[in-house]
Amino acid sequence: MKSVYATVTTVLLVSLLAGPAMAQRQKGDRQGRGGPGMRGAGGVAMILSNPGAQEELKLTPEQITKITEVVSKVRKNHENDFAKVRELSPTEQRQKMQELGKASSEEILKDLEDTLKPEQTKRLKEIELQVRGMQALLDPEVATALTLSDAQKEKIKSIDDDVRAELSSLRPTGGPGGGAGGGAGGNPFQKMQALRKEAMSKALGVLTDPQKKTWQGMTGKPFEMRFQRPGA
């Protein structure tokens, strides 16, 4: 199941996976206790850079320093790969981001084997599944672990397609002030979070009671990952 936890597929992480090639356009990327470079590899790197997650994992200052070094190294290893993603079509970008995210997360977890305590690694994997949300349910290995039927997979995919369409209308449109859809005066970031939460609730509704119990065992106690909007 190791690769299950290392895979990164959530739409929320796509903008964080691109590393320096895209991060240069987001000055807010340098915020957060983890220090610059923590977000560039996405997946577990993004979680490890989040102040709330650092507290949940009970990371020490020494561990955070080591994590920053490892993530910077892994991001540098894949810097050119992330830069090339910008040249692909949207569909190809999504697939490539997933592949790069998985590779980056696996490398980070391997390099941190002697840094993180077993209970910290276990909790990190639980949080990653929670952050991935419905995208985790679409992961083939997770689907196998949950024994999802083909009909359930189709229902979850349909829910995912619907929320993707809604999220697209809320993405920033560019221009002064970073305008976005969702109506004047609205907070598109909060609306995106609300949409994801609602979609996840629908997806979990597709599961049987035994499958829900298995999912709860894989994700542990609920943890709300709070993200700061770029430039906030």
User: What does 170-203 look like in DSSP terms, one character per residue?
Assistant: TSEEETTTTEESS-TT--HHHHHHHHHHHHHHHH
User: Is 52 inside a domain boundary?
Assistant: yes
- pLDDT > 90: percent of the chain: 43
Q: Which tokens belong to 143?
A: 């689907």
User: Is 55 inside a domain boundary?
Assistant: yes
User: Is 224 inside a domain boundary?
Assistant: no
Q: Convert the pLDDT of each residue in 124-145 to its tens digit.
A: 999 999 988 888 899 898 999 9
159 confidence band (pLDDT: 50, 70, 90): very high
- The predicted model gives 36-55 an average pLDDT of 74
User: Is 230 inside a domain boundary?
Assistant: no
- Quick check: pTM over 0.85? no
Specify the range with the lowest mean pLDDT, choosing from 19-28, 56-65, 191-200, 208-217.
19-28
Cβ atoms 29, 39 nearer than 8 A: yes
User: Is 112 inside a domain boundary?
Assistant: yes
What's the rounded Cα separation, in Å, for the pair 207 and 109? 30
Q: Which tokens belong to 65?
A: 């320093």
User: Is 207 inside a domain boundary?
Assistant: no
228 confidence band (pLDDT: 50, 70, 90): low
User: Is 189 inside a domain boundary?
Assistant: no
Q: Give the residue numbers spanning the domain of 106.
A: 1-147
Q: Convert the pLDDT of each residue in 61-89 to its tens digit.
A: 999 999 999 999 998 988 888 888 888 88
User: Is 194 inside a domain boundary?
Assistant: no
The total number of structural domains that make up the chain: 1
What's the rounded Cα separation, in Å, for the pair 157 and 150? 10
Provide CB contacts within 8 A for 158, sequence distance 6+.
Answer: none
What's the rounded Cα separation, in Å, for the pair 162 and 158? 6
Mean pLDDT of the chain: 78
